[in-house]
Chains A and B, each alone.
Chain A
């Protein structure tokens, strides 16, 4: 297990953008940069740990109030920047532990902050910005809903430190009164509960699982490989619809999301009946 979420996120942000600093006016936990991707400029976004953060419950890589509104602001800025038909891709680099679990956050309506970020990502997608999410580490719960899950295409590293889940293992164990080992074992039996990214990939939600060498400290060749995959995902997103339909139409989804697809088909079938 990668002990600290966000370290890998920062490493990849730097590798892909050459930048490692927040923009003026942003919290230290939010990295934004416009950088070349293939022949065009893309906007890269990443949430990283900031031990100095204003909010005490958002110092370890959680997505809190400032991060969520900051993301929403930077995404809406990217929408407003665009003058050409070819709208710039937005790449969300994801390595987030969770949303921020604090009383201050709840009191100040973090649900709305998270909603504002998700709405901004979706607004950009619906206007034709290809949104590509690159999961390099953790992508957990409300943190992931806020930062990355509205993407046109999801990419994840095939690596044991990549965890995509509704709840981190320790919390799931506490809440269900099981041990962490039991939680992990149960995940192998019930695929949607698995903590293994290979199992996640079977659900049909990912565009691609990327096999990369040494993701903690990527070589130039590995960075070039990932850039190529991002460019491919951008092209694929531009060629497709601006919704999340590929998460239902993929081969994996047709296998693993049969019950949901059946419910959807039933509602479609009955919708126009007298």
Chain B
């Protein structure tokens, strides 16, 4: 006898956040499609970590799957938040860039290939410093080429969030999906506290951090596209819709004048109330500001 009509939805759902990068990536593809490229058996690892006493990982924390979503060719690149906080190193960066470049090449040749990026990352891997920063610059360049032809869809699920240079990658994406648990920003609160002092931000104030960086806020203030529940099926269905939708009319990061105006309107004499920013930016969007 089934009791599904009395079981609450949160019990039945399959958490996406609890999945590792590889399982997250697989959960998005059409059933029966997909294969991993430069997978862990190739053992292409970071050459810089062992010298610093850090164990490398055989996929460098970056999973690349090629398959289909809604029967359209896609490449999914997932960062593993459990390995070095999803940080970008030489190898993980090169994998992401290569996947984006090949998707762009196929797209330009008539086989439109979208990219889905699962961003769970603190940004540059400090142990690979300049090669990590250079890799992010190249990822940015490659996203910008691909998005001329096919959408680049970023999913930030949590719990690491998406920070540092990879925040720019989210910023230039065609679409950004976030859960309530996810955060998106340039500087994490710990870094702001360290650089500018605890009077600037108290990094232990979790409510404040989520009010600023959290998914609900980022979607609410129109700097991300959709708030999704932490459910693998729901997230796959949302990603599918964006793959089917194709390119946005205009990319958010190209709406320079619109956002420049928002910045000019802010009262900088005190810290901003995140709710006020959300309300006023949302109103600006509704008034047809997206130009």
Contact = CB atoms under 8 A, between A and B. Distances in A.
Do A and B associate with each other? yes
Contact of A260 (B91, B124, B126, B148): B91
A133 to B, nearest CB: 11
B182 to A, nearest CB: 13
Given A123-B144, A167-B126, A260-B93, A104 B272 contact: yes
B212 A114 contact: no
Interface string B244-280: 0000000111111101101100101001101001000
B264 to A, nearest CB: 8
B196 A115 contact: no
A128 to B, nearest CB: 14
Interface residues of A, number: 78
A154 to B, nearest CB: 10
A264 B98 contact: yes
B250 to A, nearest CB: 12
A273 B271 CA distance: 54
A243 B94 contact: no
B268 A260 contact: no
> How many of chain B's residues touch chain A, expressed as a range?
35 or more
B102 A268 contact: yes
A217 interface: no
A271 B272 contact: no
Contact of B124 (A54, A70, A104, A166): A166
A57 B95 contact: no
B144 A103 contact: no
B256 A120 contact: yes
B194 A174 contact: yes
A145 B251 CA distance: 19
Contacts of B194: 171, 174-175
Nearest to A199: B130
A112 B169 CA distance: 9
Given A69-B256, A108-B262, A122-B144, A267 B102 contact: yes
A118 B168 contact: yes
Contact of A145 (B165, B170, B184): B165
Given A99-B186, A142-B164, A267-B37, A72 B262 contact: no
B3 interface: no
Given A103-B201, A259-B44, A111 B185 contact: yes
Given A108-B263, A190-B48, A116 B187 contact: no
B129 interface: yes
Contacts of A108: 262-263, 266, 272, 277
Interface string A60-80: 000001100110110010000
Nearest to B104: A243
Interface string B167-202: 111111000000000001111010110111000110
B44 A263 contact: yes
A73 B192 contact: no
Contacts of A104: 266, 268, 271-272
A38 to B, nearest CB: 26
B275 to A, nearest CB: 10
B198 to A, nearest CB: 11
A205 interface: yes
A111 B98 contact: no
B52 A190 contact: yes
Interface stretch (B4-12, B132-140, B229-237): B132-140
Nearest to A144: B133
Contacts of A114: 167-168, 171, 186
Contact of B218 (A109, A120, A268): A109
B268 A150 contact: no
A192 B165 CA distance: 17
A200 B223 CA distance: 35
Interface in B109-130: 124, 126-130
B187 A101 contact: yes
Interface in A157-201: 164-167, 171-172, 174-176, 186, 189-190, 192-194, 200
A70 B97 CA distance: 28
Contact of B141 (A144, A150, A256, A263): A150
A3 B251 CA distance: 39
Contact of A119 (B38, B144, B167, B266): B144
B90 interface: yes
B268 A55 contact: yes
B25 interface: no
Contacts of A186: 52
B256 A72 contact: yes
Nearest to A274: B35
11 contacts: A76-B256, A101-B195, A103-B272, A106-B189, A115-B171, A118-B144, A118-B168, A126-B148, A165-B129, A165-B130, A260-B131
Top 5 closest pairs, chain A to chain B, by CB: A115-B171, A111-B167, A260-B94, A101-B195, A149-B137
Given A57-B196, A164-B130, A260-B131, 5 more contacts: A55-B268, A65-B263, A102-B196, A247-B134, A260-B90
